[in-house]
Amino acid sequence: MNANGGESDGSRTGRHIQLWAVFVGVTLLSGSAARAALDIPIGTSYNGTPPTSPAPWVEMNLVDLAPNTVRLTITAAQLSSISFIKNLFFNFDDTKNVTSLTFTPVWSLFSGVNSYSLTERKNNLTADGGGKFDIMLGFAAGNNAASQFNGGDRVVFDITSSQSFSAASFAFRSYQPGSIPPNSSWYAAAFIQNTGAKNNHTDWAGAGSFTLTSVPEPSFGFATAGCCLAGLGWAWLRKKVAAR
């Protein structure tokens, strides 16, 4: 404050700087980075005897973890513990290179499954009349339930690539040349064994829809900087008020 009872130039400058710090801090805190979450439910039988449990029998969830990193979680919560998934098929954006994708199993999040196989071939993996897919995951068959992908089990993979992609890059139907008959092109498909009332049949099931959502996620770096700036500015303002 100057001799005339007003603020000095230095005091005004300091107050403006602190007010600017509060403004910048709040602005940074309000900033967010959206991540995509793709859900694909497999629950339509198109060739075979369907499971007797309620659909969907298999659910795929793909979530963006970071740029060019997607986490894939596959569950079979509504499939019976006797039925099991032998093969799972899904698709990738045809404008990108599917063989550039690397699937890294997150073993700590696996439940009930201890092995798998992976095949990547653009529009070349046939799911018994359900079109041609790009990616196939295979799981154990035979009579050893401990290694099968049964109802209640779970597998988790982190998918990475040197090319740009996201969870939305998997929201594509299987390839069908020419006209597409009903129930012949799917977003994903599963070959399920031990189906029917006596668990002695098989079934091909497809996903005819998906849900893609955008989930805002605060950026850690910006949020931290915002908290620091806003906190410094607010502390200065409180000090000035208390001194009056």
Dihedral (C-alpha) 7, 11, 15, 16: value to the nearest 10 degrees? 90
97 and 118 fall within a common domain: yes
Q: Are residues 98 and 172 in the same domain?
A: yes
Q: Which residue has the tokens 């012949």?
A: 184
Stated pTM of the model: 0.76
pLDDT of residue 230 exceeding 80: no
Asked if the structure places residue 107 within a domain, the reply is yes
Say if 5 falls within a structural domain: no
For residues 143 and 100, the model is more confident at: 100
Residue 236: per-residue pLDDT: 45
Asked if 25 and 37 sit in the same domain, the reply is no
Total of domains in the chain: 2
| Res. 6 pLDDT band, cuts 50 70 90 | low
- For 235, which DSSP code? H
Residue 156 is assigned to a structural domain of this protein: yes
**48 φ, ψ (degrees, to nearest 5):** 130, -160
Whether residues 172 and 73 fall in one domain: yes
Same domain? For 194 and 235 the reply is no
**Residue 4 lies inside a defined structural domain of this protein:** no
For residues 226 and 167, membership in a common domain is answered with no
Residue 144 — pLDDT band, cuts 50, 70, 90?
Answer: confident
Instruction: State whether 18 and 124 are in the same domain.
Output: no
- State the residue range of the domain holding 237: 11-30+220-243
pLDDT tens digits, 31-82 = 446 799 999 999 999 999 999 999 999 999 999 999 999 999 999 999 999 9
Give CA 227 to chain center in angstroms.
29
